[in-house]
Amino acid sequence: MEIASYQQSHQERLKQKSYASPQRSKSSKADKKTEIVSAKRTHVGMMDIIDHIGRVPGIDAAVYSSTDTGTAQKIISLARYLLATNGQSFPGIQTSKDKP
């Protein structure tokens, strides 16, 4: 008899609680639109990134404005080389730290 009384009391409790459970709205397949997306792969090398780092924040423009064009180009070229090679010396040039 206990099981029957439990089921009865459970059903009564469910009747007393009248609430709706939250649900997402159901969308039909007709509502969905497919869009064609295209992607393009480009190769970006280290020097492209270094060029971007100098150009976008205005570092190159500051160097060009502080000296003549030829000297600015040399400064930028040397700075990019040193950045790309992690400060290694130039080929064929001995520095004071290279001498015995």
Rounded CA-CA distance 7/13 in Å is 10
pLDDT of residue 18: 59
Give yes or no for a contact between 11 and 3, defined as CB atoms under 8 angstroms apart: no
- pLDDT at residue 15, as a whole number: 67
In the predicted model, residues of the chain with pLDDT beneath 50 are: 1
Give φ, ψ of 78 to 5 degrees. -65, -40
Domain ranges of the chain: 46-83
* One-character DSSP codes across 46-90: HHHHHHHHHHTTTHHHHHHHHS-HHHHHHHHHHHHHHHHTTTPPP
pTM above 0.75, yes or no: no
State residue 88's pLDDT score: 77
Model pLDDT, residue 72: 94
